[in-house]
Structure 1
Amino acid sequence: MRYELLGPLRVTNGGETFSLSAPKMEMTLATLLLGAGRVTTKDQLATELWGSCPPRRASAAVHVYLSQLRKFLVSAGDSEGRAISTRPSGYVLHLDGAAYDVAEFQELVRDGRHHQDAGRHEAALEAFELALLLLRGPVLDGLAEGPALSAFATWAEAERLDCLELSVEARTALGRHREVISLLDGLIAQYPLRESFYRQLMLVLYRAERQAEALRVYRKAQRVLRAELGLEPCRSLRRMHQAILTSDRVLDLPLAS
Protein backbone atom coordinates (compact mmCIF):
# COMPACT_ATOMS: atom_id res chain seq x y z
CA MET A 1 0.00 0.00 0.00
CA ARG A 2 0.97 3.59 -0.53
CA TYR A 3 -0.48 6.72 1.06
CA GLU A 4 -0.35 9.95 -0.95
CA LEU A 5 -1.06 13.23 0.83
CA LEU A 6 0.87 15.69 -1.36
CA GLY A 7 -2.17 16.62 -3.39
CA PRO A 8 -5.64 15.08 -3.54
CA LEU A 9 -5.62 12.33 -0.90
CA ARG A 10 -5.44 8.82 -2.27
CA VAL A 11 -4.26 5.33 -1.46
CA THR A 12 -2.68 3.16 -4.13
CA ASN A 13 -1.90 -0.52 -4.27
CA GLY A 14 -0.16 -1.93 -7.30
CA GLY A 15 -1.76 -0.26 -10.27
CA GLU A 16 -5.03 0.49 -8.50
CA THR A 17 -6.00 3.83 -6.94
CA PHE A 18 -8.48 4.24 -4.10
CA SER A 19 -10.00 7.60 -3.22
CA LEU A 20 -12.44 8.78 -0.58
CA SER A 21 -15.48 10.69 -1.79
CA ALA A 22 -16.48 12.34 1.51
CA PRO A 23 -14.40 15.39 2.58
CA LYS A 24 -14.75 14.58 6.30
CA MET A 25 -13.38 11.10 5.66
CA GLU A 26 -10.47 12.57 3.73
CA MET A 27 -9.69 14.99 6.56
CA THR A 28 -9.86 12.17 9.10
CA LEU A 29 -7.40 10.00 7.20
CA ALA A 30 -5.14 12.97 6.46
CA THR A 31 -5.03 13.92 10.15
CA LEU A 32 -4.13 10.35 11.10
CA LEU A 33 -1.41 10.34 8.44
CA LEU A 34 0.14 13.49 9.87
CA GLY A 35 0.47 11.70 13.20
CA ALA A 36 1.33 8.28 11.77
CA GLY A 37 2.77 6.03 14.47
CA ARG A 38 1.52 8.32 17.25
CA VAL A 39 -1.81 8.73 18.99
CA THR A 40 -4.10 11.25 17.35
CA THR A 41 -6.59 12.21 20.02
CA LYS A 42 -10.33 12.42 19.51
CA ASP A 43 -10.14 16.11 20.36
CA GLN A 44 -7.51 16.67 17.65
CA LEU A 45 -9.70 14.93 15.09
CA ALA A 46 -12.74 16.96 16.14
CA THR A 47 -10.76 20.19 15.80
CA GLU A 48 -9.59 19.30 12.31
CA LEU A 49 -13.10 18.30 11.24
CA TRP A 50 -15.19 21.04 12.82
CA GLY A 51 -12.88 23.69 14.23
CA SER A 52 -14.02 25.32 17.46
CA CYS A 53 -17.69 24.40 16.92
CA PRO A 54 -17.98 20.60 16.89
CA PRO A 55 -21.50 19.10 16.84
CA ARG A 56 -22.97 17.68 20.03
CA ARG A 57 -22.36 14.12 18.88
CA ALA A 58 -18.85 14.75 17.53
CA SER A 59 -17.39 11.75 19.32
CA ALA A 60 -19.98 9.43 17.79
CA ALA A 61 -19.38 10.91 14.35
CA VAL A 62 -15.62 10.38 14.66
CA HIS A 63 -16.28 6.77 15.67
CA VAL A 64 -18.37 6.29 12.51
CA TYR A 65 -15.66 7.85 10.33
CA LEU A 66 -13.03 5.57 11.81
CA SER A 67 -15.20 2.51 11.22
CA GLN A 68 -15.68 3.52 7.60
CA LEU A 69 -11.98 4.28 7.19
CA ARG A 70 -11.04 0.83 8.39
CA LYS A 71 -13.33 -0.68 5.76
CA PHE A 72 -11.88 1.60 3.11
CA LEU A 73 -8.31 0.60 3.98
CA VAL A 74 -9.21 -3.09 3.96
CA SER A 75 -10.55 -2.64 0.42
CA ALA A 76 -7.30 -0.83 -0.48
CA GLY A 77 -5.09 -3.67 0.75
CA ASP A 78 -5.03 -3.68 4.56
CA SER A 79 -6.22 -7.28 4.50
CA GLU A 80 -5.88 -7.84 8.26
CA GLY A 81 -7.49 -4.55 9.23
CA ARG A 82 -4.58 -3.45 11.40
CA ALA A 83 -3.75 -0.09 9.82
CA ILE A 84 -5.76 1.83 12.44
CA SER A 85 -5.76 0.86 16.09
CA THR A 86 -7.79 2.34 18.94
CA ARG A 87 -6.27 3.77 22.10
CA PRO A 88 -8.07 5.12 25.19
CA SER A 89 -7.46 8.72 24.07
CA GLY A 90 -7.68 8.30 20.30
CA TYR A 91 -6.35 6.40 17.32
CA VAL A 92 -3.04 5.39 15.73
CA LEU A 93 -2.38 4.91 12.02
CA HIS A 94 0.35 2.31 11.49
CA LEU A 95 2.30 2.50 8.25
CA ASP A 96 3.86 -0.95 8.86
CA GLY A 97 5.92 -0.88 5.69
CA ALA A 98 3.40 1.06 3.62
CA ALA A 99 4.90 3.76 1.42
CA TYR A 100 4.13 7.40 2.22
CA ASP A 101 4.78 10.18 -0.27
CA VAL A 102 5.58 12.78 2.41
CA ALA A 103 8.42 10.61 3.77
CA GLU A 104 9.66 9.94 0.23
CA PHE A 105 9.62 13.64 -0.59
CA GLN A 106 11.63 14.53 2.51
CA GLU A 107 14.18 11.80 1.80
CA LEU A 108 14.63 12.90 -1.81
CA VAL A 109 15.18 16.52 -0.78
CA ARG A 110 17.72 15.42 1.84
CA ASP A 111 19.53 13.32 -0.77
CA GLY A 112 19.46 16.19 -3.24
CA ARG A 113 20.93 18.61 -0.72
CA HIS A 114 23.66 16.10 0.12
CA HIS A 115 24.56 15.67 -3.56
CA GLN A 116 24.46 19.43 -4.09
CA ASP A 117 26.80 20.08 -1.17
CA ALA A 118 29.19 17.46 -2.57
CA GLY A 119 29.13 19.02 -6.04
CA ARG A 120 27.21 16.15 -7.64
CA HIS A 121 24.80 18.43 -9.45
CA GLU A 122 23.36 15.88 -11.90
CA ALA A 123 22.45 13.58 -9.02
CA ALA A 124 21.11 16.53 -7.03
CA LEU A 125 18.90 17.67 -9.91
CA GLU A 126 17.55 14.15 -10.39
CA ALA A 127 16.60 13.95 -6.71
CA PHE A 128 14.93 17.37 -6.71
CA GLU A 129 12.99 16.58 -9.90
CA LEU A 130 11.75 13.29 -8.45
CA ALA A 131 10.69 15.12 -5.29
CA LEU A 132 8.75 17.71 -7.31
CA LEU A 133 6.92 14.95 -9.18
CA LEU A 134 5.44 13.81 -5.86
CA LEU A 135 3.71 17.18 -5.39
CA ARG A 136 0.49 16.65 -7.32
CA GLY A 137 -1.38 19.80 -6.29
CA PRO A 138 -2.88 21.50 -3.23
CA VAL A 139 -3.14 19.26 -0.18
CA LEU A 140 -6.64 17.72 0.00
CA ASP A 141 -7.53 19.65 -3.15
CA GLY A 142 -7.38 22.82 -1.06
CA LEU A 143 -9.99 21.57 1.43
CA ALA A 144 -7.67 21.60 4.47
CA GLU A 145 -9.23 23.90 7.08
CA GLY A 146 -8.20 22.61 10.52
CA PRO A 147 -5.03 23.96 12.17
CA ALA A 148 -2.84 20.89 11.64
CA LEU A 149 -3.93 20.25 8.06
CA SER A 150 -3.73 23.95 7.15
CA ALA A 151 -0.22 24.15 8.60
CA PHE A 152 0.75 21.06 6.63
CA ALA A 153 -0.66 22.51 3.41
CA THR A 154 1.37 25.69 4.01
CA TRP A 155 4.47 23.59 4.69
CA ALA A 156 3.99 21.56 1.51
CA GLU A 157 3.74 24.69 -0.64
CA ALA A 158 6.81 26.23 1.03
CA GLU A 159 8.77 23.01 0.48
CA ARG A 160 7.71 22.92 -3.17
CA LEU A 161 9.08 26.43 -3.74
CA ASP A 162 12.30 25.62 -1.86
CA CYS A 163 12.71 22.48 -3.98
CA LEU A 164 12.19 24.51 -7.14
CA GLU A 165 14.93 26.89 -6.01
CA LEU A 166 17.26 23.98 -5.35
CA SER A 167 16.58 22.49 -8.78
CA VAL A 168 17.36 25.88 -10.35
CA GLU A 169 20.64 26.00 -8.42
CA ALA A 170 21.57 22.56 -9.74
CA ARG A 171 20.73 23.52 -13.33
CA THR A 172 22.71 26.76 -12.97
CA ALA A 173 25.72 24.85 -11.68
CA LEU A 174 25.45 22.57 -14.72
CA GLY A 175 25.52 25.59 -17.05
CA ARG A 176 22.01 25.13 -18.40
CA HIS A 177 21.51 28.87 -18.74
CA ARG A 178 18.82 28.99 -21.43
CA GLU A 179 16.74 26.37 -19.63
CA VAL A 180 17.07 28.17 -16.30
CA ILE A 181 16.19 31.60 -17.73
CA SER A 182 12.99 30.27 -19.26
CA LEU A 183 12.05 28.46 -16.04
CA LEU A 184 12.70 31.50 -13.84
CA ASP A 185 10.77 33.85 -16.13
CA GLY A 186 7.73 31.67 -15.55
CA LEU A 187 8.30 31.36 -11.81
CA ILE A 188 8.67 35.12 -11.36
CA ALA A 189 5.42 35.69 -13.27
CA GLN A 190 3.73 33.21 -10.93
CA TYR A 191 5.44 34.34 -7.70
CA PRO A 192 6.36 38.03 -8.20
CA LEU A 193 7.15 38.60 -4.51
CA ARG A 194 9.64 35.74 -4.11
CA GLU A 195 12.97 37.55 -4.16
CA SER A 196 15.13 34.46 -4.45
CA PHE A 197 13.83 33.81 -7.97
CA TYR A 198 14.92 37.32 -9.04
CA ARG A 199 18.35 36.72 -7.51
CA GLN A 200 18.74 33.41 -9.31
CA LEU A 201 17.68 34.94 -12.62
CA MET A 202 20.13 37.82 -12.22
CA LEU A 203 22.96 35.38 -11.61
CA VAL A 204 22.25 33.15 -14.58
CA LEU A 205 21.76 36.16 -16.92
CA TYR A 206 25.11 37.52 -15.77
CA ARG A 207 26.80 34.19 -16.38
CA ALA A 208 25.18 34.11 -19.82
CA GLU A 209 26.91 37.48 -20.54
CA ARG A 210 23.61 39.37 -20.37
CA GLN A 211 24.60 41.87 -17.69
CA ALA A 212 22.21 44.63 -18.78
CA GLU A 213 19.27 42.24 -18.61
CA ALA A 214 20.35 41.10 -15.17
CA LEU A 215 20.29 44.70 -13.96
CA ARG A 216 16.83 45.20 -15.46
CA VAL A 217 15.61 42.21 -13.47
CA TYR A 218 16.76 43.95 -10.29
CA ARG A 219 14.92 47.13 -11.21
CA LYS A 220 11.79 45.11 -11.91
CA ALA A 221 12.05 43.41 -8.51
CA GLN A 222 12.53 46.79 -6.87
CA ARG A 223 9.42 48.22 -8.53
CA VAL A 224 7.26 45.22 -7.64
CA LEU A 225 8.38 45.09 -4.02
CA ARG A 226 7.89 48.82 -3.51
CA ALA A 227 4.45 48.77 -5.13
CA GLU A 228 3.15 45.63 -3.42
CA LEU A 229 4.84 45.70 -0.03
CA GLY A 230 6.39 49.13 0.38
CA LEU A 231 9.77 47.44 0.86
CA GLU A 232 13.21 47.57 -0.70
CA PRO A 233 14.81 44.37 -2.02
CA CYS A 234 16.33 42.08 0.60
CA ARG A 235 20.04 42.13 1.44
CA SER A 236 20.98 39.13 -0.74
CA LEU A 237 19.26 40.69 -3.76
CA ARG A 238 21.02 44.02 -3.17
CA ARG A 239 24.34 42.23 -2.86
CA MET A 240 23.75 40.43 -6.15
CA HIS A 241 22.94 43.77 -7.78
CA GLN A 242 26.14 45.33 -6.48
CA ALA A 243 28.23 42.34 -7.51
CA ILE A 244 26.86 42.55 -11.06
CA LEU A 245 27.47 46.31 -11.21
CA THR A 246 31.13 45.76 -10.29
CA SER A 247 31.53 42.53 -12.31
CA ASP A 248 32.62 40.82 -9.13
CA ARG A 249 34.60 37.74 -10.15
CA VAL A 250 32.98 35.68 -7.44
CA LEU A 251 29.94 35.49 -9.70
CA ASP A 252 32.02 33.71 -12.35
CA LEU A 253 33.08 30.96 -10.01
CA PRO A 254 31.23 27.70 -10.69
CA LEU A 255 29.69 25.85 -7.76
CA ALA A 256 31.84 23.07 -6.34
CA SER A 257 32.08 20.08 -8.66
Structure 2
Amino acid sequence: MHTEIAGWDGTGSTAPQYDGPAPGTVSFTLLGPLEVLKNGQDFAPTAPKMLQLLAMLLLRPGRIVQIDSIIQELWANEPPRSVRTTMQTYVYQLRKCIEQNGLAPDGDALLVTRTPGYVFRVEPAQVDVFTFNRLCELGRRSLDAGRYAEAAQSFRSALSLWSGPPMANVSCGPVLSAYAVELQERRRNAQHLRIQAEIEGGMHRDLIGELRSLVTANPLDEGLHGQLMRVLGRSGRRSDAMATYRALRARLNSELGVDPCDELQSLHHDLLSAGEPAA
Protein backbone atom coordinates (compact mmCIF):
# COMPACT_ATOMS: atom_id res chain seq x y z
CA MET A 1 0.00 0.00 0.00
CA HIS A 2 1.45 3.34 -0.95
CA THR A 3 0.68 6.77 -2.33
CA GLU A 4 2.11 7.70 -5.69
CA ILE A 5 3.29 11.18 -6.61
CA ALA A 6 2.12 11.31 -10.17
CA GLY A 7 4.35 13.04 -12.69
CA TRP A 8 7.57 12.53 -10.70
CA ASP A 9 10.26 10.36 -12.25
CA GLY A 10 13.05 11.16 -9.80
CA THR A 11 14.70 13.72 -12.07
CA GLY A 12 12.61 16.75 -11.22
CA SER A 13 11.94 17.22 -14.93
CA THR A 14 8.19 17.49 -14.55
CA ALA A 15 6.12 19.42 -12.04
CA PRO A 16 4.61 16.90 -9.60
CA GLN A 17 0.94 16.60 -8.92
CA TYR A 18 -0.65 14.96 -5.90
CA ASP A 19 -3.48 12.69 -7.00
CA GLY A 20 -4.16 11.07 -3.64
CA PRO A 21 -3.98 7.39 -2.78
CA ALA A 22 -5.02 4.68 -5.19
CA PRO A 23 -8.56 3.37 -4.65
CA GLY A 24 -8.73 0.83 -1.86
CA THR A 25 -5.46 1.83 -0.19
CA VAL A 26 -5.29 3.34 3.28
CA SER A 27 -3.77 6.76 3.83
CA PHE A 28 -3.14 8.81 6.94
CA THR A 29 -3.29 12.56 7.40
CA LEU A 30 -1.48 14.62 10.02
CA LEU A 31 -1.54 17.95 8.18
CA GLY A 32 -4.90 18.89 9.65
CA PRO A 33 -7.10 16.51 11.66
CA LEU A 34 -5.64 13.03 12.01
CA GLU A 35 -7.62 10.86 9.60
CA VAL A 36 -7.41 7.24 8.51
CA LEU A 37 -8.82 7.25 5.00
CA LYS A 38 -9.96 4.36 2.85
CA ASN A 39 -12.07 5.03 -0.23
CA GLY A 40 -12.78 8.52 1.05
CA GLN A 41 -14.11 7.38 4.43
CA ASP A 42 -12.42 8.26 7.73
CA PHE A 43 -11.85 5.36 10.13
CA ALA A 44 -9.74 7.17 12.73
CA PRO A 45 -10.50 6.13 16.32
CA THR A 46 -12.37 8.68 18.41
CA ALA A 47 -11.03 7.75 21.86
CA PRO A 48 -8.48 10.47 22.73
CA LYS A 49 -5.69 8.15 23.96
CA MET A 50 -6.05 5.81 20.97
CA LEU A 51 -5.85 8.78 18.62
CA GLN A 52 -2.79 10.03 20.47
CA LEU A 53 -1.17 6.59 20.25
CA LEU A 54 -1.88 6.38 16.52
CA ALA A 55 -0.33 9.81 15.96
CA MET A 56 2.82 8.68 17.77
CA LEU A 57 3.07 5.59 15.56
CA LEU A 58 2.64 7.71 12.42
CA LEU A 59 5.62 9.87 13.34
CA ARG A 60 7.85 6.92 12.45
CA PRO A 61 5.94 4.74 9.95
CA GLY A 62 7.60 1.38 9.50
CA ARG A 63 10.08 2.07 12.30
CA ILE A 64 10.21 1.34 16.01
CA VAL A 65 8.48 3.82 18.31
CA GLN A 66 9.83 3.30 21.80
CA ILE A 67 7.49 2.51 24.67
CA ASP A 68 9.09 5.20 26.83
CA SER A 69 8.30 7.85 24.20
CA ILE A 70 4.68 6.73 24.04
CA ILE A 71 4.36 6.85 27.82
CA GLN A 72 5.92 10.32 27.90
CA GLU A 73 3.45 11.52 25.26
CA LEU A 74 0.32 9.97 26.73
CA TRP A 75 0.90 10.76 30.40
CA ALA A 76 3.86 13.18 30.59
CA ASN A 77 5.11 13.18 34.17
CA GLU A 78 2.00 11.59 35.70
CA PRO A 79 1.74 8.01 34.41
CA PRO A 80 -0.79 5.71 36.08
CA ARG A 81 0.48 3.02 38.43
CA SER A 82 -0.14 0.25 35.89
CA VAL A 83 1.09 2.35 32.96
CA ARG A 84 2.39 -0.46 30.75
CA THR A 85 -0.73 -2.55 31.19
CA THR A 86 -2.86 0.49 30.36
CA MET A 87 -0.79 1.24 27.27
CA GLN A 88 -1.04 -2.39 26.12
CA THR A 89 -4.82 -2.07 26.41
CA TYR A 90 -4.77 0.91 24.03
CA VAL A 91 -2.56 -1.03 21.62
CA TYR A 92 -5.01 -3.95 21.72
CA GLN A 93 -7.95 -1.60 21.09
CA LEU A 94 -6.14 0.01 18.16
CA ARG A 95 -5.48 -3.39 16.62
CA LYS A 96 -9.16 -4.30 16.98
CA CYS A 97 -10.14 -0.98 15.38
CA ILE A 98 -7.87 -1.82 12.43
CA GLU A 99 -9.47 -5.23 11.95
CA GLN A 100 -13.08 -4.19 12.50
CA ASN A 101 -12.84 -1.42 9.92
CA GLY A 102 -11.15 -3.61 7.32
CA LEU A 103 -7.95 -1.58 7.29
CA ALA A 104 -5.90 -4.78 7.46
CA PRO A 105 -6.84 -8.45 7.85
CA ASP A 106 -4.65 -8.82 10.94
CA GLY A 107 -4.13 -5.99 13.42
CA ASP A 108 -1.19 -7.82 15.00
CA ALA A 109 0.58 -7.95 11.63
CA LEU A 110 0.08 -4.22 11.02
CA LEU A 111 0.87 -3.03 14.55
CA VAL A 112 3.79 -5.19 15.62
CA THR A 113 5.35 -5.48 19.06
CA ARG A 114 9.09 -5.18 18.66
CA THR A 115 11.50 -4.48 21.51
CA PRO A 116 11.81 -1.77 22.76
CA GLY A 117 8.44 -0.64 21.41
CA TYR A 118 6.03 -0.99 18.49
CA VAL A 119 6.22 -0.77 14.71
CA PHE A 120 3.27 0.44 12.62
CA ARG A 121 3.94 -1.38 9.37
CA VAL A 122 2.79 1.16 6.80
CA GLU A 123 4.79 2.81 4.06
CA PRO A 124 5.94 6.39 4.71
CA ALA A 125 4.20 7.41 1.45
CA GLN A 126 0.85 6.51 3.01
CA VAL A 127 1.29 9.46 5.41
CA ASP A 128 0.66 12.94 4.01
CA VAL A 129 3.73 14.36 5.77
CA PHE A 130 5.95 12.20 3.55
CA THR A 131 4.26 13.52 0.41
CA PHE A 132 4.53 17.08 1.70
CA ASN A 133 8.26 16.68 2.36
CA ARG A 134 8.89 15.06 -1.03
CA LEU A 135 7.07 17.82 -2.90
CA CYS A 136 9.00 20.47 -0.98
CA GLU A 137 12.25 18.70 -1.84
CA LEU A 138 11.32 18.73 -5.52
CA GLY A 139 10.36 22.39 -5.25
CA ARG A 140 13.74 23.29 -3.80
CA ARG A 141 15.53 21.40 -6.58
CA SER A 142 13.52 23.22 -9.23
CA LEU A 143 14.09 26.56 -7.53
CA ASP A 144 17.86 25.99 -7.38
CA ALA A 145 17.80 25.07 -11.09
CA GLY A 146 15.91 28.22 -12.03
CA ARG A 147 12.74 26.36 -13.04
CA TYR A 148 10.51 28.78 -11.17
CA ALA A 149 7.11 27.71 -12.53
CA GLU A 150 7.82 24.08 -11.64
CA ALA A 151 9.09 25.07 -8.21
CA ALA A 152 6.00 27.14 -7.48
CA GLN A 153 3.74 24.28 -8.59
CA SER A 154 5.57 21.81 -6.35
CA PHE A 155 5.20 24.06 -3.32
CA ARG A 156 1.55 24.77 -4.12
CA SER A 157 0.88 21.02 -4.34
CA ALA A 158 2.64 20.52 -1.00
CA LEU A 159 0.70 23.28 0.71
CA SER A 160 -2.61 21.99 -0.70
CA LEU A 161 -2.22 18.89 1.50
CA TRP A 162 -2.85 21.01 4.58
CA SER A 163 -6.43 21.25 5.86
CA GLY A 164 -5.82 22.97 9.19
CA PRO A 165 -3.46 22.95 12.18
CA PRO A 166 -1.46 19.71 12.38
CA MET A 167 -3.20 16.89 14.26
CA ALA A 168 -6.02 19.30 15.06
CA ASN A 169 -8.23 16.62 16.62
CA VAL A 170 -5.49 15.12 18.82
CA SER A 171 -4.93 16.09 22.47
CA CYS A 172 -1.19 16.51 22.02
CA GLY A 173 1.24 15.83 24.84
CA PRO A 174 4.88 16.97 24.93
CA VAL A 175 6.15 14.85 22.03
CA LEU A 176 3.32 15.60 19.59
CA SER A 177 3.20 19.28 20.58
CA ALA A 178 6.87 19.65 19.65
CA TYR A 179 6.24 17.84 16.36
CA ALA A 180 3.29 20.10 15.58
CA VAL A 181 5.52 23.15 15.99
CA GLU A 182 8.05 21.59 13.62
CA LEU A 183 5.37 20.90 11.02
CA GLN A 184 4.10 24.49 11.22
CA GLU A 185 7.65 25.72 10.57
CA ARG A 186 7.93 23.44 7.54
CA ARG A 187 4.65 24.84 6.24
CA ARG A 188 5.84 28.42 6.77
CA ASN A 189 9.09 27.67 4.93
CA ALA A 190 7.24 26.06 2.03
CA GLN A 191 5.01 29.13 1.74
CA HIS A 192 8.06 31.41 1.77
CA LEU A 193 9.77 29.39 -0.97
CA ARG A 194 6.59 29.20 -3.05
CA ILE A 195 6.32 32.99 -2.98
CA GLN A 196 10.02 33.33 -3.75
CA ALA A 197 9.61 31.08 -6.80
CA GLU A 198 6.63 33.11 -8.00
CA ILE A 199 8.52 36.38 -7.53
CA GLU A 200 11.46 35.05 -9.55
CA GLY A 201 8.99 33.82 -12.15
CA GLY A 202 7.71 37.37 -12.68
CA MET A 203 4.42 37.14 -10.77
CA HIS A 204 5.23 40.04 -8.42
CA ARG A 205 2.14 42.13 -9.22
CA ASP A 206 -0.12 39.13 -8.59
CA LEU A 207 1.42 38.62 -5.15
CA ILE A 208 0.91 42.09 -3.69
CA GLY A 209 -2.55 41.46 -2.26
CA GLU A 210 -1.65 38.09 -0.76
CA LEU A 211 1.53 39.44 0.81
CA ARG A 212 -0.24 42.45 2.27
CA SER A 213 -2.69 40.07 3.91
CA LEU A 214 0.10 37.83 5.20
CA VAL A 215 2.02 40.80 6.59
CA THR A 216 -1.10 42.01 8.40
CA ALA A 217 -1.55 38.58 9.96
CA ASN A 218 2.18 38.28 10.80
CA PRO A 219 3.26 41.85 11.66
CA LEU A 220 6.74 40.88 12.96
CA ASP A 221 7.67 38.43 10.18
CA GLU A 222 10.67 40.01 8.48
CA GLY A 223 10.74 37.43 5.68
CA LEU A 224 7.21 38.28 4.56
CA HIS A 225 7.95 42.01 4.81
CA GLY A 226 11.01 41.55 2.64
CA GLN A 227 9.00 39.71 0.01
CA LEU A 228 6.34 42.42 0.06
CA MET A 229 9.02 45.09 -0.37
CA ARG A 230 10.43 43.21 -3.36
CA VAL A 231 7.12 42.77 -5.17
CA LEU A 232 6.21 46.41 -4.57
CA GLY A 233 9.61 47.57 -5.81
CA ARG A 234 9.45 45.38 -8.90
CA SER A 235 5.94 46.64 -9.61
CA GLY A 236 7.11 50.25 -9.72
CA ARG A 237 5.79 51.09 -6.25
CA ARG A 238 9.05 52.02 -4.56
CA SER A 239 7.46 54.50 -2.16
CA ASP A 240 5.04 51.81 -0.91
CA ALA A 241 7.96 49.42 -0.46
CA MET A 242 9.86 51.95 1.64
CA ALA A 243 6.72 52.70 3.66
CA THR A 244 6.46 48.98 4.40
CA TYR A 245 10.03 49.02 5.71
CA ARG A 246 9.44 52.08 7.88
CA ALA A 247 6.31 50.55 9.42
CA LEU A 248 8.14 47.32 10.21
CA ARG A 249 11.13 49.16 11.69
CA ALA A 250 8.86 51.23 13.94
CA ARG A 251 7.05 48.11 15.14
CA LEU A 252 10.24 46.15 15.79
CA ASN A 253 11.73 49.09 17.70
CA SER A 254 8.57 49.58 19.73
CA GLU A 255 7.80 45.96 20.60
CA LEU A 256 11.21 44.25 20.59
CA GLY A 257 13.75 47.06 20.76
CA VAL A 258 15.57 45.84 17.62
CA ASP A 259 16.11 47.01 14.05
CA PRO A 260 15.21 45.03 10.91
CA CYS A 261 17.71 42.35 9.88
CA ASP A 262 20.69 43.15 7.67
CA GLU A 263 18.98 41.74 4.59
CA LEU A 264 16.03 44.10 4.93
CA GLN A 265 18.29 47.04 5.67
CA SER A 266 20.25 46.26 2.49
CA LEU A 267 17.02 45.97 0.49
CA HIS A 268 15.84 49.29 1.88
CA HIS A 269 19.17 50.88 0.95
CA ASP A 270 18.82 49.58 -2.62
CA LEU A 271 15.33 51.06 -2.83
CA LEU A 272 16.56 54.40 -1.55
CA SER A 273 19.44 54.44 -4.00
CA ALA A 274 17.76 53.49 -7.23
CA GLY A 275 14.84 51.19 -6.57
CA GLU A 276 14.37 47.85 -8.17
CA PRO A 277 13.48 48.13 -11.82
CA ALA A 278 9.83 47.79 -12.66
CA ALA A 279 8.88 44.89 -14.87
Give the gaps of 5 or more residues in structure 2.
1-25
Report percent identity of matched pairs: 37
**Residues 20 and 142 (structure 1 numbering): CA distance in 2 closer, same or farther, change over 3 Å?**
closer
The residue aligned with 1:150 is: 177
Tell whether 2:230 aligns with 1:203: yes
CA contact under 8 A between 1:18 and 1:76: conserved in structure 2?
Answer: no
Worse-superposed segment, 17-26 or 62-71: 17-26
Partners of 1:136 and 1:207 lie apart in 2 by: 32
CA contact under 8 A between 2:27 and 2:126: conserved in structure 1?
Answer: yes
Partners of 1:11 and 1:40 lie apart in 2 by: 19
The residue aligned with 1:178 is: 205
CA contact under 8 A between 2:125 and 2:131: conserved in structure 1?
Answer: no
Partner residue of 1:141 out of 168, 191, 196: 168
Partner residue of 2:37 out of 9, 12, 21: 12
Partners of 1:33 and 1:97 lie apart in 2 by: 8
Runs of 4 or more, structure 1, over 6 Å off, are none
The residue aligned with 1:41 is: 66
Tell whether 2:88 aligns with 1:63: yes
CA contact under 8 A between 2:61 and 2:124: conserved in structure 1?
Answer: no
CA contact under 8 A between 2:225 and 2:248: conserved in structure 1?
Answer: yes
Partners of 1:45 and 1:151 lie apart in 2 by: 14
**Residues 164 and 213 (structure 1 numbering): CA distance in 2 closer, same or farther, change over 3 Å?**
same
Shift of 1:177: 2.4
The residue aligned with 2:266 is: 239
CA contact under 8 A between 1:144 and 1:153: conserved in structure 2?
Answer: no
Give the SS at the match of 1:92. Answer: strand
Give the SS at the match of 1:140. Answer: coil
The residue aligned with 2:120 is: 93
CA contact under 8 A between 1:125 and 1:167: conserved in structure 2?
Answer: yes
Partners of 1:8 and 1:241 lie apart in 2 by: 41
**Residues 179 and 42 (structure 1 numbering): CA distance in 2 closer, same or farther, change over 3 Å?**
same
For these two proteins, the number of residue pairs brought into alignment is: 252
CA contact under 8 A between 1:3 and 1:98: conserved in structure 2?
Answer: no
The residue aligned with 2:220 is: 193
CA contact under 8 A between 2:226 and 2:264: conserved in structure 1?
Answer: yes
Could you say which structure has the higher helix fraction? Answer: 1
The residue aligned with 1:80 is: 106
CA contact under 8 A between 1:26 and 1:140: conserved in structure 2?
Answer: no
Give the gaps of 5 or more residues in structure 1.
none
CA contact under 8 A between 1:4 and 1:102: conserved in structure 2?
Answer: yes
The 5 Å alignment of 1:111-130 reads: 111-130=138-157
Give the SS at the match of 1:2. Answer: strand
Partners of 1:208 and 1:253 lie apart in 2 by: 5
**Residues 115 and 252 (structure 1 numbering): CA distance in 2 closer, same or farther, change over 3 Å?**
farther
CA contact under 8 A between 1:7 and 1:139: conserved in structure 2?
Answer: yes
One-letter amino acid of the structure 2 residue matched with residue 66 of structure 1: V
Give the SS at the match of 1:141. Answer: coil
One-letter amino acid of the structure 2 residue matched with residue 9 of structure 1: L
Partners of 2:260 and 2:37 lie apart in 1 by: 45
Shift of 1:232: 0.9
The root-mean-square deviation of aligned C-alpha atoms, in Å, is: 1.9
Shift of 1:149: 0.9
Q: If the length of structure 1 is used for normalisation, what is the TM-score?
A: 0.92
Shift of 1:239: 1.0
The residue aligned with 2:187 is: 160
